[in-house]
Structure 1
């Protein structure tokens, strides 16, 4: 390649890189994580962190689309509890209020939309209610 041909090829290569941009995330790159796996039975406040698995950083401003609390871990999926979203205590942490009527295993199922991503983050988190 001559010096002149190289001079023409370099801008074209740089333009190609600029147009492709950074690699896009996949919705599977995100996950919910319980801040605490054990909570007192009764009225409970649950904090859940939404994390980008690639960087480990919290993901703020997701829109929670679905939430459910049940006792599926103890083979009582029909045993449910109402769950209400509360204001976030910090970016990337999502807070919920529920009533854990019995001690035992509870499952928190969440679905959320992440800003700028296609698809829904869905996770089922298991926690323990203790007396």
Structure 2
């Protein structure tokens, strides 16, 4: 009888813990979005927002480990430019410095880890460099 009582108490404790634990997000619940879709050609600052799609809130403190910018939208994927991450101007905004050497379509590819989540947020964002 003691074993059955213990089993019921353990099951109740687990159910209670599950009910009070926050619901964990999946990596697909996050995405990067461009703050501006058009940026002046030449030396450029590109701001992107990382959001939690479930509530629309910005996600701070992600670790961006992959970044690339190229002209794939204009069928020139080999036309790349250096890209450097800058300090964040505000929570959930990630800033990059690059040189958009010619007008046209540019693709910004990002890979990031969100703290507390398993997996990688990967997005390819298309922006337009204008004269």
TM-score normalised by length of structure 1: 0.88
Q: Name the CA shift for 1:10/1:56 in 2 (closer, same or farther; >3 Å).
A: farther
Q: Deviations over 1:45-83 (max 9, x none)?
A: 000000000010000000001000000000000000000
- What is residue 45 of structure 1 aligned with on the other side? 45
Aligned residues: 123
- What is residue 88 of structure 1 aligned with on the other side? 88
Displacement of 1:15? 4.6
3-state SS of 2:45 partner: strand
Q: Distance in 2 between the 1:68 and 1:17 partners?
A: 46
3-state SS of 1:106 partner: strand
Q: For residues 24-63 of structure 1, what are the structure 2 equivalents within 5 Å?
A: 24-63=24-63
Q: Distance in 2 between the 1:58 and 1:19 partners?
A: 26
- What is residue 18 of structure 1 aligned with on the other side? 17
3-state SS of 2:17 partner: helix
Q: Distance in 2 between the 1:90 and 1:17 partners?
A: 37
Unpaired stretches in structure 2, ≥5 consecutive residues:
1-7
Q: How well do the aligned residues superpose, as a CA RMSD in angstroms?
A: 1.7
- What is residue 4 of structure 2 aligned with on the other side? none
Q: Distance in 2 between the 1:127 and 1:70 partners?
A: 10
Q: Distance in 1 between the 2:11 and 2:119 partners?
A: 33
Displacement of 1:12? 5.6
3-state SS of 2:18 partner: helix
Displacement of 1:11? 9.8
- What is residue 106 of structure 2 aligned with on the other side? 106
- What is residue 5 of structure 1 aligned with on the other side? none
Deviates more, 1:17-26 or 1:42-51: 17-26
Displacement of 1:23? 2.1
